[in-house]
A and B are shown apart, each in its own frame.
Chain A
Amino acid sequence: MSSQVYTPGLKRKASTKVRKTRRLPIRGKVLVKKGDNVKADTIVARTFIPGDVHVVNISGLLGIDAWETSEYMVKREGEEVKEEEPIAMIKSFFGLFKRYAFAPASGTVERISDITGQVLIRESQIPLEVDAYIPGKVVETLSNEGATIETPAAFIQGIFGIGGERKGKLMMIAENPNEVLTAKQLESKCNGRILVGGALVTSDALQKAVKVGAKGIVVGGIDDQDLTSFLGYQIGIAITGEEDIPLTLIITEGFGEMGMSEKTFSLLREFDGKYASINGATQIRAGVMRPEIVIPRPELTEKIGDSEEKKKFLEQGLSPGTPIRIIRKPYFGALGVVSKLPIPLQTIETESDVRVLEAELADGKRVIVPRANVEIIEE
């Protein structure tokens, strides 16, 4: 008997096929075609978003009624204007006195409203580009929207991150997954690198990493206070990725001092010095993504896992023998395999009746845990 009631685990794969769909937020032009080989910084699509808008209260400035606005405009809808150029004018006292309203910015007159007496000036369009993020092959183009890039790679997901996409070479700082990453360990050679720590990154280490110009940090845990002081504000909802910070931080295990999982640590060590693309963007709700580390491996040529395999894995769910990790106290972090999946609800210490599983931990101990408190280890 298997069960689908489980939390999908974080992916840690030495070799997999990574596909990234790079999409514009609004329609635009796709600059690559199917089959193209691209670098991580190749621009794959471009569009223009409408420029900023300035509202000018013409009727107020000229002391006229709103319905008279068009009459006193010297620029018409659709006309271009330069900053400080007069856009409306009123003459008084037989034309001896003139009062002007000036354009607050260069752009185009978008609307003249005789109802509100307002005029909208739209600045020129702002270009918006999307790069490939990972080097690889364009396997699909999405008409007017973007393209999908594919590469064989090692792929590791974190549990939480901040900061957006960044690229750089991985650099192991910690010697073991339980080590604390401190400021002392960081030097100028960390410049442009993605640093790999162990169980915790301190606040000082974060500041030092910024100072030496590191691109990112991958570490097991962080204290919430250190995260707050680094960001300058407290996070309330796990929707991140847009922070204005100089490096990307990826937490692989959780908050507090938490040894990085052996598997994650050894994978990162295996690729020490290799080029990686990372993204701290996390959305646990509404859309959803976990932070990630993609280490492209163009040398891999043999057939590697595809989406069908993933689908099959997800459908399989929990069953006896499935490798799991417990993700809540009192066994937080423990690894094991499912030994039993009892169907009836069971009463746990809280007196709640819940669906549980029996897990055999790595040390041979058997424990009962709610099914909701485990994640499948997908390797």
Chain B
Amino acid sequence: MPRTTELSKPEIRPEKMKIILATDCGSTTSKARFFKKLGKEYRFVASGEAPTTVEAPFEDVTLGVRNAIREVEELTGHKLLAPHGVITPSRGEKEGVDLYVTTSSAGGGLQMMVAGVVKTMTAESAERAALGAGAIVMDVMAVDDGRRPHEKIGRIRHLRPDMILMAGGTDGGTVKHVVETAELIDAAKPKPRLGVDFELPIVFAGNKEARIPIQRILDKTFALKIVDNIRPVLELENTDPARNVIHELFMEHVMSHAPGYDNLMKWTQIPIMPTPAAEGKMFRTIAETYNANVIGVGLGGATTNVYSMYEKKFVRTVSANLGMSYSICNVLKETGTKNIIRWIPFDIEEENLRNHLYNKMIRPTTIPQSVEDLVVEHAVAREALRLGFEHHKLLARPLRGVQRRRTIADIFEQRAFEETYIDMLHVDWLAGTGGLLSHAPRRAQSALMLIDGFQPEGVTKLAQDSVFMMPHLGVLSTVHPKAALEIFEKDCLVRIGVCIAPRGVGKEGEEVMKVVVSMPDNSVLEEQVDFGSMKKIPLKEGEKAEVEIFPFRGGDIGRGSGKRRRVVVEGGVVGIILDARGRPLVLPDNNNERKQKLIEWFRFLDAYPERLYEICCR
């Protein structure tokens, strides 16, 4: 029987914890973050990174974790490792830790298949629940998905997921369709991805009337868990019970079969958490702390995770196969060469670009050494972010099957219920994490990637994870919220600044916006911005300024077309970014004009070293 980690673990007493170590086993890199209580508050001290070693020839995740921790030891002189694992509890100031926690997305993370009855109703709710638990959803099956039963059976067999989530039917409704799905799953007899002998976990979160027949069909062959219905009535989506049991099963059935995880589970004092679940916790923290609408993104090596907390609704999506190392060629495949090249300000042959990205895919742990290489990766990142957000918007939409009355505003705005409820004009924060964003040498680079990928409208605060520690703090917050929040505020959340961008498009060179900024030193700045350009007004982190924005010619800044808006903004490492490039953002068709524009924007934000512009002028 697989072992749960909660057993035989010592009691955790947050007030006693002074030295904390957290790791994240990413698909590409294992990252160690070292925290300490300095005086009265918890702070980040040092970090170490090393390639993840789930894969051959190592096939033991703890080797990579040890290597990353050893980097921390080298940098701090604090002894953390013993032959048996991480030293706990601490012994004095220079040895051991009081708490060790970890997250993981290595080895493919948590790969799930979900099934429901109606594609846009229970199947979609099941997908949201699985994604909410930090899973990669390999397929969504529904009675009305257009596939014939034998095709579905073939697909289930082929997938070999880590787990299946089955939903379907409201409580007391018809049981026929959900039982039909169970029969197909049973007929396919899918085998789990890891471990020959263990039973594939299936979570049933559908019509409670169907529990007995479902048990009869699935209980013998699978590790069946039954939880409350995900859609007990059409008007309600209840994903928490399914999500919680997915986390439990992830530990018991999946992690315990991945190479080296049996050992890693012994090292940690609390269960290993899927990285997207931990990351999501911290984006929720931003939304709750600042009472704001937040969009967050974790741009990883294999996946792009997008999180939204919009009008108190939290949605997390994991776009499997959109990432910056293992999946970089899938971004290329999804978006096409031209869409990547459009973000590169120098000439590059399509063939060279493709070969370059394929070489990154097969050697995923390498990093750009030249500035051209860096710009190419940033171009791919913009597309990964854009595609990840497109995917997210498909799930961040109102519940289907619920009768609604259209309001006058809906009619005037021609808003369809199929569309996302996220209105970029009302997004207060846009925040990013993940290796590429956190390690961007200049914060202006991540600002531009976030802006180009998400195209925020109105007034949007930009933030990012300083050195990639949001997953670490997410898992830490489950046992020590105080420490997690203190470190998050002081050392993790880097305020990049604020982006002011009117919705609408104009003509090149046409004046589209005027801003009047009352600076902290009481000076008043007035800036006019023409269509197609960007400007930057420096405003340091911790400083505030009052900004009055006058959009022209139908531009909307959040108060209606052409209406002015007055707002107090906070500064950041980049400052106030005035973006008058239009929403939606369209780049010039002419190649030379496009390159000129990119250089102009990069220069306005001082985003790249001078050497880039020399290369562009060659």
Contact mask for chain A residues 42-75; partner B; CB cutoff 8 A; 1 contact, 0 none: 0000000010111100000000001000000000
Q: How far is the CA of A255 from the CA of B189 in the complex (A)?
A: 39
Contact: B354 with A224, CB < 8 Å? yes
Which residues from chain A contact B183 at a C-beta distance below 8 Å? 55, 111, 113, 116, 118, 120
Q: Does B241 contact A (CB under 8 A)?
A: no
Contact: A256 with B355, CB < 8 Å? yes
**Interface residues in B303-362 (C-beta closer than 8 Å to A):** 321, 326-327, 329-330, 332-334, 351-352, 354-356, 358-359, 361-362
Which residues from chain A contact B374 at a C-beta distance below 8 Å? 350, 352
Contact: A237 with B327, CB < 8 Å? yes
* CB nearest to B440 among chain A residues: A352
Shortest CB-to-CB span from B406 to chain A, Å, is: 37
* CB nearest to A116 among chain B residues: B180
Q: How far is the CA of A160 from the CA of B67 in the complex (A)?
A: 26
Q: Does A365 contact B (CB under 8 A)?
A: no
Contact: A369 with B369, CB < 8 Å? yes
Q: Does A185 contact B (CB under 8 A)?
A: no
Q: How far is the CA of A26 from the CA of B77 in the complex (A)?
A: 49
Q: Does A96 contact B (CB under 8 A)?
A: no
Interface size class of B (residues with CB under 8 A): 35 or more
Contact: B179 with A116, CB < 8 Å? yes
Contact among B176, B191, B365, B369 with A329 in the assembled complex (CB-CB below 8 Å)? B369
Contact among B54, B58, B150, B302 with A53 in the assembled complex (CB-CB below 8 Å)? B150
Q: How far is the CA of A92 from the CA of B63 in the complex (A)?
A: 72
Contact: B369 with A349, CB < 8 Å? yes
* CB nearest to A344 among chain B residues: B75
Q: How far is the CA of A160 from the CA of B364 in the complex (A)?
A: 12
Contact mask for chain B residues 195-231; partner A; CB cutoff 8 A; 1 contact, 0 none: 0110000000000000001000000000000000000
Q: How far is the CA of A352 from the CA of B442 in the complex (A)?
A: 9
Contact: A350 with B326, CB < 8 Å? no
Contact: A236 with B327, CB < 8 Å? yes
Contact mask for chain A residues 295-313; partner B; CB cutoff 8 A; 1 contact, 0 none: 0000000000000001000
Q: How far is the CA of A373 from the CA of B359 in the complex (A)?
A: 12
Contact: B362 with A159, CB < 8 Å? yes
Contact: B362 with A25, CB < 8 Å? no
Q: Does A284 contact B (CB under 8 A)?
A: yes
Q: Does B21 contact A (CB under 8 A)?
A: no
Q: Does B505 contact A (CB under 8 A)?
A: no
Shortest CB-to-CB span from B321 to chain A, Å, is: 6
**Interface residues in B160-212 (C-beta closer than 8 Å to A):** 175-177, 179-180, 183-184, 186-189, 191, 196-197
* CB nearest to A307 among chain B residues: B57
Q: How far is the CA of A266 from the CA of B503 in the complex (A)?
A: 62
Known: A116-B183, A238-B326. A328 touches B363 (CB 8 A): yes
* CB nearest to B216 among chain A residues: A115
Q: How far is the CA of A224 from the CA of B353 in the complex (A)?
A: 10
Known: A111-B183, A118-B180, A254-B358. A5 touches B367 (CB 8 A): no
Q: How far is the CA of A375 from the CA of B67 in the complex (A)?
A: 16
Q: Does A207 contact B (CB under 8 A)?
A: no
Q: How far is the CA of A312 from the CA of B205 in the complex (A)?
A: 49
Q: Does A122 contact B (CB under 8 A)?
A: yes
Q: Does B27 contact A (CB under 8 A)?
A: yes
Shortest CB-to-CB span from B572 to chain A, Å, is: 19
Q: Does B472 contact A (CB under 8 A)?
A: no
Which residues from chain B contact A50 at a C-beta distance below 8 Å? 189
Q: How far is the CA of A6 from the CA of B63 in the complex (A)?
A: 12
Shortest CB-to-CB span from A368 to chain B, Å, is: 9
Contact: A285 with B354, CB < 8 Å? no
* CB nearest to A53 among chain B residues: B187
Contact: B107 with A54, CB < 8 Å? no
Q: Does A366 contact B (CB under 8 A)?
A: no
Contact: A314 with B369, CB < 8 Å? no
Contact mask for chain A residues 108-151; partner B; CB cutoff 8 A; 1 contact, 0 none: 00110101111010100000000000000000000001000000
Q: How far is the CA of A332 from the CA of B154 in the complex (A)?
A: 43
Contact among B49, B367, B611 with A373 in the assembled complex (CB-CB below 8 Å)? B367
Which residues from chain B contact A330 at a C-beta distance below 8 Å? 369-370
Contact: B179 with A287, CB < 8 Å? no
Contact: B333 with A236, CB < 8 Å? yes
Q: How far is the CA of A113 from the CA of B197 in the complex (A)?
A: 28
Which residues from chain A contact B544 at a C-beta distance below 8 Å? none
* CB nearest to A27 among chain B residues: B196
Contact: B187 with A111, CB < 8 Å? yes
* CB nearest to A288 among chain B residues: B55
Which residues from chain A contact B188 at a C-beta distance below 8 Å? 53
Which residues from chain A contact B373 at a C-beta distance below 8 Å? 328-329, 350
* CB nearest to B152 among chain A residues: A55
Q: Which one of B107, B153, B351, B355 has the greatest number of beta carbons of chain A within 10 Å?
A: B355
Contact: B439 with A352, CB < 8 Å? yes
Contact among A235, A255, A352 with B359 in the assembled complex (CB-CB below 8 Å)? A255
Q: Does B89 contact A (CB under 8 A)?
A: no
Contact: B366 with A66, CB < 8 Å? no
Contact mask for chain B residues 247-280; partner A; CB cutoff 8 A; 1 contact, 0 none: 0000000000000000000000000000000000
Q: How many A-B residue pairs have CB under 8 A?
A: 196
Shortest CB-to-CB span from B51 to chain A, Å, is: 6
Contact: A350 with B441, CB < 8 Å? yes
Contact mask for chain B residues 48-85; partner A; CB cutoff 8 A; 1 contact, 0 none: 01110011111100010011001100110000000000
Q: How far is the CA of A81 from the CA of B361 in the complex (A)?
A: 50
Contact: A255 with B191, CB < 8 Å? no
Contact: B370 with A285, CB < 8 Å? no
Shortest CB-to-CB span from A72 to chain B, Å, is: 17
Q: Does B398 contact A (CB under 8 A)?
A: no
Shortest CB-to-CB span from A241 to chain B, Å, is: 14
Q: How far is the CA of A34 from the CA of B337 in the complex (A)?
A: 53
Q: Does A14 contact B (CB under 8 A)?
A: no
Q: Which one of B67, B334, B361 has the greatest number of beta carbons of chain A within 10 Å?
A: B361
Q: Does B149 contact A (CB under 8 A)?
A: yes
Known: A288-B54, A349-B370, A350-B371. A26 touches B191 (CB 8 A): yes
Contact among A111, A289, A314, A370 with B58 in the assembled complex (CB-CB below 8 Å)? A314
Shortest CB-to-CB span from A284 to chain B, Å, is: 6
Which residues from chain A contact B332 at a C-beta distance below 8 Å? 236
Q: Does B520 contact A (CB under 8 A)?
A: no
Q: Does B108 contact A (CB under 8 A)?
A: yes
Contact among B150, B191, B367, B441 with A54 in the assembled complex (CB-CB below 8 Å)? B150
Contact: A255 with B358, CB < 8 Å? yes
Q: Does A225 contact B (CB under 8 A)?
A: yes
Known: A26-B191, A118-B183, A285-B326. A5 touches B366 (CB 8 A): no
Known: A7-B51, A159-B363, A255-B358. A284 touches B441 (CB 8 A): no
* CB nearest to A57 among chain B residues: B149
Q: Which one of B51, B149, B179, B363 has the greatest number of beta carbons of chain A within 10 Å?
A: B363
Shortest CB-to-CB span from B70 to chain A, Å, is: 7
Which residues from chain A contact B365 at a C-beta distance below 8 Å? 7, 372
Q: Does B14 contact A (CB under 8 A)?
A: no
Which residues from chain A contact B107 at a C-beta distance below 8 Å? 285-287
Contact: A4 with B369, CB < 8 Å? no
Shortest CB-to-CB span from B348 to chain A, Å, is: 12
Q: Does B2 contact A (CB under 8 A)?
A: no
Contact: B108 with A285, CB < 8 Å? yes
Q: Does B584 contact A (CB under 8 A)?
A: no
Known: A224-B358, A237-B326, A256-B355. A372 touches B371 (CB 8 A): no
Q: Does A223 contact B (CB under 8 A)?
A: yes
Contact: B367 with A370, CB < 8 Å? yes
Q: Does A244 contact B (CB under 8 A)?
A: no
A237-B330, A284-B361 known; 4 other A-B pairs, CB under 8 Å?
A: A283-B55, A349-B370, A350-B609, A351-B609
Query: Could you name 27 residue pairs across A and B whose Cβ atoms are closer than 8 Å?
Result: A4-B66, A4-B70, A5-B67, A52-B153, A53-B187, A55-B149, A111-B183, A111-B186, A116-B179, A117-B176, A122-B187, A235-B329, A254-B355, A255-B355, A256-B359, A284-B362, A285-B27, A287-B55, A290-B56, A328-B373, A329-B370, A350-B368, A350-B373, A351-B442, A351-B609, A352-B368, A373-B369
Q: Considering the complex of A and B, which 9 residue pairs feature the smallest CB-CB distances, nearest first? A: A288-B55, A236-B330, A286-B108, A351-B441, A55-B149, A255-B358, A256-B355, A255-B355, A4-B67
